[in-house]
A and B are shown apart, each in its own frame.
Chain A
Amino acid sequence: MASSFARVLSSKRKVGILSLVGAGSLTVGFFLNREQHVKAGAHVRRIYPPSAEYPDLRKHNNCMASHLTPAVYAKLSDKTTPNGYTLDEAIQTGVDNPGHPFIKTVGMVAGDEESYEVFADIFNPVIKERHNGYDPCTMKHPTDLDASKIRGGQFHEKYVLSSRVRTGRSIRGLSLPPACTRAERREVERVVIDALAGLKGDLAGKYFSLTLMTEQEQQQLIDDHFLFDKPVSPLLTCAGMARDWPDARGIWHNNEKTFLVWVNEEDHTRVISMEKGGNMKRVFERFCKGLLEVERLIQEKGWEFMWNERLGYILTCPSNLGTGLRAGVHVTLPRLSKDPRFPKILDNLRLQKRGTGGVDTAAVGNTFDISNLDRLGQSEVQLVQTVIDGVNYLIECEKKLERGQDIKIPAPISQFK
C-alpha cells in the first residue's frame, strides 16, 4: 500500500510532475482536466530538413500513409508532446509495416494522451477514415455505461455459445505503452492492481504477474485461455510496446473467471467480461459494474482514466478510441453463413465477423465471432444494443432458413445516432 508521501504525491501528481522536472522541459498546459487544448512541448532540433526525413510511403497502404502529406509532416516533425513524444515515433509502426493490399491498418499510435492534440493534423483525418466518417473536429462522443438501458440480450444457447465484451482504459498522467518508461509502466501496474484489489463480491479476484507467476498458475491461465503472450506482430513490436517484456505485465481475473483485466499489454488495461452461453445482458451488466467500480477505486487515490468528449476513452491505437468496445458472441449459423447475402446483412447491421480465434483467424465449422463494427461516435449502450438486435436478426434468419422460409436483407441502420 502506498506510503503517506506517495499518497500526497499521487493526489497532487498532476501538478507535482511539473515541479519535479526542471523548468523548460515541460510546458504549462499539461493535461489536467477534461480540457481539450494542450500545448506542445519543446521543439526538437533537426539536422535535416523535413523533406530529407519524410518517409517513403509509395508502397504503403495504411491510414497514416494515406494522410501524411509532406506538408503535414513538415508542420509536425519538430513538435513534441510535453513528455517528449514525437511524430516520427508515432508513425514508426506505419512506416515499418506498409500494410496489406486487402487490410488497411491504422499505421500510427499515440505515446501519450497529448499525442492526439499535438499531432491532431494527422490523427484527425486518420480517425475520420478509420471510424467511417467520425469527425473529431465537429462531433462529440457519447459515453453511457448504464446497463439497465439494454433491451433483450439473452440468446438461445442453441445458437450462441459464448458472449463477451471488451474495452481498454488508460490511466491519465502516465505515458502509453509505446512510450512509457519502465517506472511509468510499473506505476500503471501498481495503480491498477491496487484498485482491482478493492473489488468485492462476484468481482473479487487475484492478480498474476507475468514475471512472478508459477508454472502451475501459468498452465491454469493457458487452459482458461486467459494468458497473453509477448506480442509478435510487427505492427505492435515496431511501435515499441513490447519493450522490457515481461516487466510490469500481468493478468487479473475474478474468482468466477467472468471478469478479466490485462495489465500493460497493448494498452494500460484491457477489460474483458465474458461467459459461456448467450446472456449478453448479464455480461454487459458485469462489464459496466466492474468498470465503474474500478474507476471509483482509482479516483479515491487521485487518479482518473484518460477521456475527453471529442475522442471518448483514449487508448494507444486510434482504432480503439471512443468506447474501445468490442462486444460479440460466438454464434453458430450453419445455413445463414452459406447464404450469399450474409456479408451484406452483416454490413447493414453494422456488424463484423471474425473466426473464433480472433481477428485474422478463419471461422471453424459454422461458428463465427460476430461483433460491432463501430467504436467511436456511439455509446457503449448503443453499440451493445446494436449487437443484440443484430444477433437476434441473424438468429431469426437462421431459423427461417431452417423452416425453408426466405430471408430479407435488413435496411442499413444509421451509424451515428
Chain B
Amino acid sequence: MHSSFAHLQGEENITEARGTGVDATMPFGNTHNQLKMNYTAEQEFPDLSQHNNHMAKVLTLEMYANLRDKQTPSGFTVDDVIQTGVDNPGHPFIMTVGCVAGDEETYEVFKDLLDPVIEDRHGGYKPTDKHKTDLNPDNLQGGDDLDPNYVLSSRVRTGRSIRGFCLPPHCSRGERRAIEGLSVEALGALDGDLKGKYYALKDMTEEEQQQLIDDHFLFDKPVSPLLLASGMARDWPDARGIWHNDNKTFLVWVNEEDHLRVISMQKGGNMKEVFNRFCTGLTKIEELFKEKGHEFMWNEHLGYVLTCPSNLGTGMRGGVHVKLPNLSKHEKFGEILKRLRLQKRGTGGVDTAAVGGVFDISNADRLGFSEVELVQMVVDGVKLLVEMEKHLEAGQSIDDLMPEQK
C-alpha cells in the first residue's frame, strides 16, 4: 500500500493549499474562508486555559500561527481539526484527543500538531516509526479455548476509510452517499457465512429497527458533544446504515464515526474464530473495493487512517466480556491490566461501569502493534485473568501469577 500523496506533484508541502485563490470544495462551518487571516494569530488563538485534552497540551500560539493559513486539498483547516477540542475542554480524569481529521491529508498537512498528539496518545510513537499490519489469522496462537464459564462473549472491531473521500467531519452529502453506495455494493458481494443484508437508517421498517435493537446492532445518532462538535452528525440519518451477515456474527456500520466500522463477534470464548472471521471478512471487503478501483486509506507510518487519531494503526479493539468478580476487587487489578497492556470498561462500552462483576477487557493499544499481536495480548492476557479469578475463588494467592510488563 503506497502513500496517497505520491499521486500529487512532488514538491515540498505538496498537500498544502494556500488559502487565497484555492477553491475550497467542502464547505462546512466558519473556517472555509480567509476572513480570519485579517486577524492576527493571537486574536484567533483559542482560549485553552481550562482545557485538558491532547490537542490543548500540544497546540501553542506559534504552532497555530504556522498552521492557520494552510488547508488540505479539500479545504480542511486547523480550526476544523481542533474545533471539537476547543468546544470540549475535557474531563480532569479522562484525557480526550481533542482533534479529528477531515481527510487523509490532514495527518500530513497538520503533522506539526498531530504528530505530538499521536506520540502522546500512542505511548511514544514517533513520526519516524513504522506500523506493522498483520491480518493473517493463522499467526494467532491459541485463542480458541477461553473458558466459556467466565468469558461470555468475544468481539473484535476496527474501522476503515475509503481513500479519496473526505472523512465524516468534513464530507458533503454527495460524498457520504457515494461512500454508502460503494460500501453496500462491496458488502453485497460477500457470500458464504458472510452473506448478509444492508439496512439503511432512513429506510428501515419498524420491525427491522426493533430487531436491530434487540440484537444490539442498531447505532443511534451520536449525542456525545465530542462527536457533535466535529460535525460528524450532519445530515443524519442520510447515507447511514447497518449491514450484517445472516448469522449475525459480522457487522458493518456505514458512515457513523468513520466510513466503515467492522465488527466480528459471537457468544462464548472462541476468540480465534472471531478473529478468523474478522480477518477473512476485512480482506474480502478490501478485495471487493479494489475490484472497483478503490482502496482503504493506509500508510506504513500510521497504518489505517481513521477520523480520530486514537484509532490509527490497527484501529482495532479486540476484547471479551468476562466475569471477574473477585479479581476486579483485588488491589492489584489495575496494575495487572496495565502490565498486560489491557484496559477495562463496563459492558455498556466506553464510559460505562461494570455490572455484576462482568467487565469488557480489551487491548489498550492501537498503533505500533499489529492486529495479530494485539489479539494475542488479549487472548494470553484474558487466559491469565481467568486463571487468577479461579485462584481467588479457591482462596489461593495470585502473587506468583503476576505478569511482567509487556
Q: Which residues of A contact B (CB under 8 A)?
A: 17, 20-25, 42-49, 52-56, 59, 80, 83-86, 88-89, 92, 95-96, 111, 175, 178-184, 186-187, 211, 237-238, 240, 242-245, 247
Most buried by A among B27, B44, B79, B86: B27
Q: Is B234 engaged at the interface, CB distance under 8 Å to the other chain? A: yes
Given contacts A44-B27, A181-B36, A183-B39, contact A25 B234 (CB under 8 A): no
Q: How far is the CB of B218 from chain A (nearest CB, A)?
A: 18
Q: Is the CB of A88 within 8 A of B36?
A: no
Contact B20 A24 (CB under 8 A): yes
Of residues 21 through 41 on chain B, the ones whose CB sits less than 8 Å from some CB of chain A are 21, 23-25, 27-40
Given A184-B35, A240-B30, A243-B86 in contact, is the A55-B235 Cβ separation under 8 Å? Answer: yes
Interface size class of B (residues with CB under 8 A): 35 or more
Minimum CB–CB distance for B24 against chain A, Å: 6
Indicate if the CB atoms of A88 and B28 lie closer than 8 Å.
yes
Complex: A17 Cα to B20 Cα, angstroms: 14
Expressed in whole angstroms, the Cα–Cα distance for A163 and B39 within the complex equals: 41
Evaluate contact between A88 and B33: CB separation under 8 angstroms: no
CA distance A245 to B178 in the complex (A): 34
Q: B29: nearest residue on chain A (CB-CB)?
A: A240
**Chain B proximity of A208: nearest CB distance (Å):** 17
Known: A47-B172, A183-B40. 20 other contacts (CB 8 A): A21-B34, A23-B20, A25-B21, A44-B23, A44-B25, A47-B175, A48-B175, A52-B174, A53-B174, A55-B235, A84-B35, A86-B27, A88-B27, A88-B172, A95-B234, A179-B33, A181-B31, A184-B35, A240-B30, A243-B83
B87 contacts A243, C-beta separation under 8 Å: yes
Residues of chain A contacted by B233 (CB below 8 angstroms): 96
Interface class of chain A by DSSP: loop
What are the residues of chain A within 8 A of B19 when measuring CB–CB? 25
6 intermolecular pairs with C-beta atoms under 8 Å apart: A22-B34, A46-B172, A56-B202, A89-B27, A96-B235, A111-B30
Contact B46 A247 (CB under 8 A): yes
Partner of B20, one of A22, A184, A237: A22
The distance in angstroms between the C-alpha atoms of A21 and B35, with both chains bound, is 8
Q: Which residues of B contact A238 (CB under 8 A)?
A: 234
In angstroms, Cα B50 to Cα A211, docked, is 10
- B236: Cβ under 8 A from any A Cβ: yes
Closest beta carbon of chain A to B55's beta carbon, Å: 14
Q: Are A175 and B44 neighbours in the complex by a CB distance under 8 Å?
A: no
> How many A-B residue contacts, CB cutoff 8 Å?
131
A242 to B235, CA, bound (A): 18
Task: State whether B44 touches A52 (Cβ < 8 A).
Answer: no
A95 close to B235 (CB less than 8 A): yes
- Of the candidates B33, B40, B87, B202, which one forms a contact with A84 in the assembled complex, judged by CB atoms under 8 Å apart? B33
- Contact partners of B28 in chain A: CB under 8 A: 88-89, 92
B391 in the interface (beta carbon within 8 A): no
A45 and B23: CB pair below 8 A? Answer: yes
CB distance from A242 to the nearest CB of B (A): 7
- Inter-subunit contact B38/A243 (CB<8 Å): no
B40: chain A residues at CB < 8 Å are 183
CB of B35 within 8 A of CB of A181, answer: yes
B20 touches A25 (CB 8 A): yes
Kindly state the separation between the CA atoms of A318 and B54 in the bound complex, as whole angstroms. 39
Residue numbers in B under 8 Å from A237 (CB-CB): 228
Give the Cβ gap from B166 to chain A, nearest Cβ, in Å: 9
Q: CB < 8 Å: which of B33, B36, B174, B236 contacts A183?
A: B36
Q: Which 10 A-B pairs have CB atoms at the shortest separation, nearest pair first?
A: A84-B33, A48-B174, A183-B39, A45-B23, A183-B43, A22-B20, A52-B174, A181-B36, A86-B27, A53-B174
- Which B residues are within 8 Å of any A CB, using their own CB? 19-21, 23-25, 27-40, 43-47, 79, 83, 86-87, 172-175, 177-178, 202, 228-229, 233-236, 238
- The residue in chain A whose Cβ has the minimal distance to the Cβ of B24 is A44
Contact (Cβ within 8 A) B234 A83:
no
Q: Are A25 and B34 in contact (CB under 8 A)?
A: yes
Q: Return the chain B residue nearest A51 by Cβ.
A: B174
With both beta carbons as reference points, the residue of chain A lying nearest to B239 in the complex is identified as: A56
Closest-by-CB residue of B relative to A26 is B34
Instruction: Give Cα A89 to B33, complex, Å.
Output: 12
How far in angstroms is the closest Cβ of chain B from A7?
A: 16
Chain B, Cβ-Cβ closest to A18: B38
User: Which chain A residue shows the least CB distance to B79?
Assistant: A181
Contact residues in A for B86 (Cβ distance below 8 Å): 243-244
**Most A CB within 10 A of own CB, among B21, B23, B38, B45:** B38
- Are A186 and B34 closer than 8 Å at their CB atoms? no
B234 A178 Cβ-Cβ under 8 A: no
Q: Specify the chain A residue showing the minimal Cβ separation from B33.
A: A84
Q: Is the CB of A184 within 8 A of B25?
A: no
A47 touching B46, Cβ below 8 Å: no
Asked if B235 and A175 sit within 8 Å, CB to CB, the answer is: no
How long is the Cα–Cα vector from A96 to B47 in the complex, in angstroms?
29
Contact, CB under 8 Å: B39 / A184: yes
B21 adjacent to A243 (CB under 8 Å): no
Q: Which residue of A lies closest to B172 (CB)?
A: A53
Task: Report yes or no: B38 in contact with A178, Cβ–Cβ below 8 A.
Answer: no
Contact B172 A21 (CB under 8 A): no
Q: List A contacts of B172 (CB < 8 A).
A: 46-48, 53, 88
Q: How far is the CA of A211 from the CA of B172 in the complex (A)?
A: 34
Inter-chain CA distance A49–B178, complex, in Å, is 12
Q: Which residues of A contact B24 (CB under 8 A)?
A: 44-45, 84
Interchain CA distance A42-B175 in the complex, whole Å: 22
Q: Is the CB of A55 within 8 A of B37?
A: no
Shortest Cβ distance from residue B162 to the other chain A in the assembled complex, whole angstroms:
14
| Cα distance A260–B330 in the bound complex, in angstroms | 57
A85 to B30, CA, bound (A): 7
- Docked Cα-Cα span, A96 to B231, in Å, equals 11
Q: How far is the CA of A260 from the CA of B338 in the complex (A)?
A: 54
Q: Complex formed: what's the CA distance from A22 to B233 in Å?
A: 34
Whether B173 contacts A53 by the Cβ 8 Å rule is: yes
Minimum Cβ distance to chain A for residue B375 (Å): 38
Q: How far is the CA of A183 from the CA of B39 in the complex (A)?
A: 7
Contact between chains at A22 and B21 (CB < 8 Å):
yes
Complex alpha-carbon distance, A22 and B175, angstroms: 30
Which chain A residue has the least Cβ–Cβ distance from B19?
Answer: A25
**Inside 8 A of B35's CB, which chain A residues have their CB?**
21, 83-84, 175, 181, 184
**What is the CB-to-nearest-CB distance from B44 to chain A, in angstroms, rounded to a whole number?**
4
With A86-B27, A184-B39 known as contacts, the answer to whether A211 contacts B47 (CB < 8 A) is: yes
Instruction: A187 to B36: give the CA distance in the assembly, Å.
Output: 12
Q: How far is the CA of A99 from the CA of B174 in the complex (A)?
A: 23
B235: nearest chain-A partner, CB-CB: A95
Chain A residues whose CB sits within 8 angstroms of the CB of B25 once the complex forms: 44-47
